[in-house]
Chain A
């Protein structure tokens, strides 16, 4: 179901929706915790998958970083790259593997420039994917902190290069 993909052309609107939804879930966290994260996950992850698939082509990796990647799902990249484009992007901006498809990261970068709230998070170093979180609700994982857990070796190291926001064009638009 791809009827919502056009919404991705409005990344600032989407990042506001994300911000609001995150606020809402955090407010509801005490109640969700009382009912049980697992129970809510079972109820939520189906409509969550349906909605996110319609707008973003979501693959339910369970550790959503949409707001840090220009509201463009990196799991749509055939190589599942989480930190930016590979060197094989075609001169017309299309994917090395799927020539008809525009490179996910070309789109992510362009959209990030129109996202004054989260745009510059494109610079963050994303840790390796935890495959065990596949098909679980990313929102519940956000509340439990599961989506932020990194391997022990990864912890405690710098997670973003120091780049002035204005240099990348991620200032306030």
Chain B
């Protein structure tokens, strides 16, 4: 179906190309200079997913940098996905970070436009947006395929990265979104992680168009999912977080449940969504996002029947040059 030549040395690509349903999860970088906090969060996630996203200033709030998270994770043999947002850095900085992260052992990169500075706690900051996400995808593809920077200057060793992009089928203009996906695939995207999916019927419509355009055969699509703690959390997300759309039925469903059981219900809703999207033709996996609730992510993935993850021999570790300092952490 898809060209079987590997573009990266990573686990995520191999799981996807083997036809298995992939699972990725997000690690929320700590507000800290202490690496232990990263390892604690990653430990739970590493057993239950094929790739861990190191977010880059999500919500326009600064945290430990995503390149640093990738460096820490590869030391422990975990599989990070480097997220790059166009909001904070110009083309010169980004083209420096990307080979740097690859040198640290990162095998996957996710290209994002980025939330605007005004949604974070430092709205006075200067917004950069020297690139948009499509130019970013194309630039990384140029580095990988042509072994050169955008200017044409050569790289002696190209970054072997599996290139990802985001898509949001739940934001207007709805009819345009499949075509935006087509542009990202043409620019060079190998895999996609979508924004939170709480409206499965709308997602099915989107996937129908995606299949009409033949995109499901050119790119691996992972559906964004996540648990809602309560109807208040749902209201917060759909009003304060850009691009998140939660239908009223979901909020109502949570409102009706007594206080002590809301968390369970939120988890149940998420598991149902995972099971439904799994049936849709063209969906290659899920991307689980839960703000600072990594244990909940692990429970969710287990309840959705997605364990064990294929990490046995046959699926090689991410990067053979990493330091194996934290080898002991593997035995869990």
Point out residues on A near B: beta carbons under 8 Å: 78-93, 96-97, 103, 105-106, 109-110, 122-123, 125-129, 151-154, 157-158, 160-161, 163, 167-169
Contacts and interface: CB of A to CB of B under 8 A. Distances in A.
B150 A128 contact: yes
A96 B114 CA distance: 11
B176 interface: yes
Contact of A78 (B127, B173, B242): B127
A171 B91 CA distance: 37
Interface string B127-138: 101111111001
A90 B127 CA distance: 20
Contact of A123 (B129, B146, B182): B182
B152 A87 contact: no
A153 B151 contact: yes
Given A151-B152, A153-B150, A153-B151, A87 B118 contact: no
A96 B243 contact: yes
A86 B186 contact: no
Nearest to A124: B183
A54 B191 CA distance: 42
B132 A79 contact: yes
Interface stretch (B44-52, B164-172, B265-273, B292-300): B164-172
Interface residues of B, number: 48
Contact of A128 (B91, B114, B149, B168): B91
The 3 closest A-B pairs by CB, nearest first: A152-B152, A88-B242, A87-B168
B183 A123 contact: yes
Given A88-B171, A89-B171, A103-B172, A153 B243 contact: no
Contacts of B195: 87
Interface string B152-178: 100000000000001110011101100
A167 B243 contact: no
B152 A82 contact: no
A104 to B, nearest CB: 11
Interface of A, secondary structure class, is loop
Given A79-B113, A91-B172, A127-B135, A84 B180 contact: yes
Contact of B173 (A85, A88, A96, A167): A85
Nearest to A106: B173
B286 interface: no
A57 B151 CA distance: 31
A171 to B, nearest CB: 14
B179 interface: yes
A109 B182 contact: no
A134 B261 CA distance: 58
Nearest to A158: B186
Contacts of A96: 115-116, 119, 242-243
Interface in B81-136: 86-87, 91, 113-116, 118-119, 127, 129-135
23 contacts: A79-B86, A83-B135, A84-B183, A86-B242, A86-B243, A87-B113, A87-B166, A88-B115, A89-B171, A90-B171, A90-B172, A90-B242, A96-B115, A96-B119, A97-B116, A103-B173, A123-B182, A127-B135, A129-B130, A153-B143, A153-B146, A167-B213, A169-B175
Nearest to B209: A167
A83 B148 CA distance: 23
A88 B116 contact: yes
B212 interface: yes
B283 interface: no
A89 B243 contact: yes
Interface string B23-63: 00000000000000000000000000000000000000000
Nearest to B145: A157
Nearest to B136: A128
A79 B180 contact: no
Interface in B203-240: 212-213
Contacts of B114: 79, 86
B185 interface: yes
Contacts of A129: 130
Contacts of B146: 153
A86 B113 contact: yes
Contacts of B132: 79-83
